[in-house]
Amino acid sequence: AQTVTQSQPEMSVQEAETVTLSCTYDTSESNYYLFWYKQPPSRQMILVIRQEAYKQQNATENRFSVNFQKAAKSFSLKISDSQLGDTAMYFCAFMKHNNNDMRFGAGTRLTVKP
């Protein structure tokens, strides 16, 4: 079974600074997808960024980027120029290729301080 580990229950960062959220996963699969979701106080799950395991290039979406280390099974999220609106729970998720199962990590609560 696949497991996703987020070892940082809570983090904080000053506005405009950079923060990195950690995620590791365990799988024997070679083809899969990784995601970072944001869940603000409204509890709506919002996709932040996704990475296909077969792609070596790290995904980037504006201020959000990942450091995908396939051999190390690591998938960290970097948020640059943090904004107050980035305050939320962040979940790392794993999904096998051609499979419906999406497995989530325990989440990291990020607080951006003014």
Q: How far apart are CA 17 and CA 99, in angstroms?
A: 37
Candidates 70, 73, 78, 103; binder of another protein (CB under 8 A) is 103
Within residues 10-49, the interface with another protein by CB under 8 A covers 33, 37, 42-47
Q: How far apart are CA 55 and CA 17, in angstroms?
A: 28
Cα distances (Å, whole numbers) of residue 1 to 26, 46, 50, 63: 8, 25, 21, 32
* Segment lying near another protein (by CB under 8 A), choices 20-28, 60-68, 72-80, 96-104: 96-104
The reply to whether 61 sits near another protein by the rule CB under 8 A is no
The reply to whether 64 sits near another protein by the rule CB under 8 A is no
Whether residue 94 contacts residue 106, with contact meaning beta carbons closer than 8 Å, is answered with: no
Contacting positions for another protein (CB under 8 A): 33, 37, 42-47, 50, 91, 95, 97, 100-107
